[in-house]
Structure 1
Amino acid sequence: MTPHPAPQSRGVALFDLDGTLVDTTYLHTLAWWQALRRHGHTVPMVRIHRAIGMGSDRLLDAVLGPDRETGEDEALSDAHGTLYATWYDSLQPFEGAAALLRATAARGWRVVLASSASEEEVAAVRARLDADDVIDAATSSADADATKPAPDLVRAALDTVGAEPEEAVFVGDAVWDVEAAARAGVPCVGLLTGGTTRRELEDAGAVLVHDDPLDLLRHIDAGPLARPPAPGGTS
């Protein structure tokens, strides 16, 4: 975790990184596909894509089945990390991503990056995002025992700034983000940037769905990020 001193506002806006603020979902899909092939597993990319946003353990359950040989999990995860790292210098934030974080902070929210990626991957994405001046804290896979859609990562993100669920809003792109936020008692705004449909996000419980960060930014004052809740959890 990388906490910074928090402002007076109690509200906290949690943002997923991969596929939400930075266009990495399909890069992760490709890296996992290549890693699996290196270890003798040919898995359709569509199946991998559907699992992106989970932690690596749950992703491998989803694409290889829970009865797989788990002894190669670490090697598969390491191979994915190595392959994905070749893209670090060309990672591309979505249009409006950094501006959305700054607009959120300007409205009194504490901004926390709630990511389940490795510390190295989070650092690489943050470097490309270039918005550290308004980010109060960030999580990585090291901060939670159970990965999305379990609520542990969301709770860990709240803990970095001492916030309660009723003081928070989560922004994510995957069904797993919405489900993890819901299990932690936090409403989730969904974005279509990860390739998940509006219907899927809404069915999972997203309170609002926008096309991308720029769309959310343009409508920020008409949604739950308009202003943080007052102390005590009331708006």
Structure 2
Amino acid sequence: MTTRGAQESRGAALFDVDGTLVDTNYLHTLAWWQALRRHGHDVPMARIHRAIGMGADRLLDHVLGQNRRREEDGSVADTHGALYATWYENLRPFEGATELLRAVAARGWQVVLASSASEEEVNAIRGRLDAEEVIDAVTSGGDVDVTKPAPDLVEAALRAVGAEPEDAVFIGDTVWDVEAAGRAGLPCIGLLTGGTSRAELEDAGAVLVCEDAMTLLRRIDTSPLSRPPDRAGG
């Protein structure tokens, strides 16, 4: 977990990273598929894609079952990490993603990156976003024992900037993001850029679904991100 220092108590906009800000979900799917095959598991890519957004712990439960050989989890995850790292130089933010982060910060929100990915993977993406000056804190899968859809990562992100659930909004691209936010007491805005359908995000509880970061940026002043809650004198 990294922060820019002590923050005054104010609203927080929590952003998932993979599939929300950067076009990586299908790269993760491919890297997990290859890693699993190298360890003797032939899992359809469609099943893997449905689990993207979870941390390695939950993803392997989802695709292999809880009765798998857990002693190989670390090796499978390390193989995925090594395969995915070959794409670092080619990672690209979605159109409007960096501008969205800056627009949210300009409206008074604290900006937090809250990802289930490893710290190394998140750091690789931070370098591509070119928005360090507006990012107040970053959490990764290594900051919690259980990742999305459990609320732990969302709660850790709130603690990092001293925000309360009622003063925060989560922005993600998977049902796991929506579920994690809901369990932590936050509304979630869903984006379609991760490959999850509008109906699935809405059924999971998303309060707004936009096509992509650029669409949300254009609609920001009529969205839950228009301005943080004003608790002055409250």
Task: Please state which band the TM-score falls in when normalised by the shorter chain.
Answer: over 0.9
Question: Taking structure 2 as the reference length, what is the TM-score of the superposition?
Answer: 0.97
For the pair 1:163 / 2:163, whether they are aligned, the reply is yes
For the pair 1:210 / 2:210, whether they are aligned, the reply is yes
Question: How far did 1:4 drift?
Answer: 1.0
Identify which range, 188-197 or 140-149, moves more after superposition. 140-149
What residue in structure 1 maps to residue 200 of structure 2? 200
What residue in structure 1 maps to residue 80 of structure 2? 80
Q: Which runs of 4+ in 1 moved over 3 A?
A: 5-9
Contact 1:39 1:76 in 2 (8 A): yes
Identify which range, 1-10 or 221-230, moves more after superposition. 1-10
Contact 1:167 1:233 in 2 (8 A): no
Aligned-pair identity in percent equals 73
For the pair 1:34 / 2:34, whether they are aligned, the reply is yes
What is the root-mean-square deviation in Å for CA atoms of aligned residues? 1.4
Contact 1:18 1:24 in 2 (8 A): yes
Contact 1:6 1:110 in 2 (8 A): no
Question: How far did 1:5 drift?
Answer: 3.5
Query: Any residues of structure 2 matched to 1:101-112 within 5 Å, and which?
Result: 101-112=101-112
Unaligned runs of 5+ in 1: none
Question: How far did 1:26 drift?
Answer: 0.2
Question: How far did 1:142 drift?
Answer: 1.6
Amino acid at match of 1:85: A
Q: Cα 1:135–1:233, aligned 2, differ >3 Å: closer, same or farther?
A: farther
For the pair 1:128 / 2:99, whether they are aligned, the reply is no
What residue in structure 2 maps to residue 151 of structure 1? 151
Question: How far did 1:129 drift?
Answer: 0.9
Matched residues in 1 for 2:30 and 2:233: separation? 42
Question: How far did 1:221 drift?
Answer: 0.2
Question: Taking structure 1 as the reference length, what is the TM-score of the superposition?
Answer: 0.97
Amino acid at match of 2:206: A
Contact 1:168 1:186 in 2 (8 A): yes
Identify which range, 55-64 or 185-194, moves more after superposition. 55-64
Matched residues in 1 for 2:227 and 2:138: separation? 21
Contact 2:32 2:48 in 1 (8 A): yes
Amino acid at match of 1:67: N
For the pair 1:174 / 2:174, whether they are aligned, the reply is yes
Contact 2:148 2:176 in 1 (8 A): yes
Matched residues in 2 for 1:7 and 1:65: separation? 41
Matched residues in 2 for 1:7 and 1:230: separation? 16
SS at match of 2:60: helix
1:100-152 per-position Cα deviation (integer Å, ceiling 9, x unaligned): 00000000000000111111101000001111110000001121111100000
Matched residues in 1 for 2:27 and 2:209: separation? 23
What residue in structure 2 maps to residue 68 of structure 1? 68
SS at match of 1:136: strand
Contact 1:166 1:233 in 2 (8 A): no
Contact 1:10 1:167 in 2 (8 A): yes
Unaligned runs of 5+ in 2: none
Q: Cα 1:102–1:233, aligned 2, differ >3 Å: closer, same or farther?
A: farther
Matched residues in 2 for 1:131 and 1:170: separation? 18
What residue in structure 2 maps to residue 54 of structure 1? 54
Matched residues in 2 for 1:103 and 1:134: separation? 9
1:12-45 per-position Cα deviation (integer Å, ceiling 9, x unaligned): 0000001100000000000000000001111100
